[in-house]
Amino acid sequence: MTSKLDQLRAMTTVVADTGDLDAIAKLTPVDATTNPSLLLKAAQLPRYAQALAEARSQAGGDVAKACDLFAVRVGEEILRLIPGRVSTEVDARLSFASEATYAKAMNLVELYQQRGIGTERLLIKIASTWEGIKAAERLEKAGVQCNLTLLFAFAQASACADAGVTLISPFVGRIYDWYKQQTGIDYQGSEDPGVQSVSRIYRYYKQNGYNTVVMGASFRNTGQIEALAGCDRLTINPALLESLAADQGTLTQQLQAGQAGEARQGLDESAFRWALNEDAMATEKLAEGIRLFAADQLKLEALLA
């Protein structure tokens, strides 16, 4: 019997949610994702000491530039170990500034290109605010593919698809956290609100012929992963990847093209903002996620100062 991880790989593209090179080398994912929190953890590992020192020296005292240089160096190291793409995130403090997000993304692309890495190996991660989605729409038209993160609401997913975004990362675990805190219920399998959210988005995209890839993220347990087997992609931390690799049980595919979804909806800015406002969970978790990523970005800057 093959492991559940091997079975999952037969129906879903597995992505590593880590900047740990040893874990990536061991678990051999197709793609990998990073964010300010993961970069902060990486910056404290001995193997990245030289990359930190080089980022400081090349930045000439510009701390923001040093952070970007370090993020690109981590991304470069990851790309040596995977066949696919690495996601690198725009500063969360720009989440409500569309023009600044676009400019920062293009700067990251340029830094990668200076190291001989083209856009075909990259995804630029941007928070799924209205401003972030509009910046991503411009970037996609410019040939820069994007990963829209901190996605909690169906309205965010709908707007991302209409903007032609390459990939979205709905946060299963953080949705689960919110509902568990509100109700006290430890949701399992298909009853998990995070699982239900991603399943609804997946079916909506397939029903309406959207090309945007759905990549479930932020998992709390392997049950959530198993309930989304068949999703386009799943980005999973090393501990849960190890658990799946050690499990020899049978994994059943849950999501596949052809399952019934909802009719296409189009949202302008006011409709998007109202729908997000009406979703207390999404409103709270989006704001919290931006604050947490911004806080870790500040810690990384302090480390590089």
Residues linked to residue 32 through DSSP beta bridges, in sequence order: 16, 86
- Backbone φ and ψ for 233, nearest 5 degrees, come out as -145, 155
3-state secondary structure (DSSP) of residue 79: helix
Catalytic residue among 104, 125, 134, 285: 125
CB 258 within 8 A of CB 206: yes
In 3-state terms, what secondary structure has residue 104? helix
For residue 13, which of 162, 228, 173 has the smallest C-alpha distance? 228
In whole angstroms, give the CA distance from residue 124 to residue 110.
Answer: 12
**Side-chain half-sphere exposure of 172, counting CA atoms within 13 A:** 34
- Let me know if 41 is a catalytic residue: no
Token reading at 3: 């492991």
* 3-state DSSP percent of the chain in helix, strand and coil, to 5: 60, 10, 30
CB 234 within 8 A of CB 17: no
Query: Is residue 30 a contact partner of residue 15, using CB atoms and an 8 Å limit?
Result: yes
Selection from 148, 152, 133 nearest residue 282 by Cα: 152
Of 124, 131, 136, 175, which is closest to residue 154 (Cα–Cα)? 175
List active site positions: 125
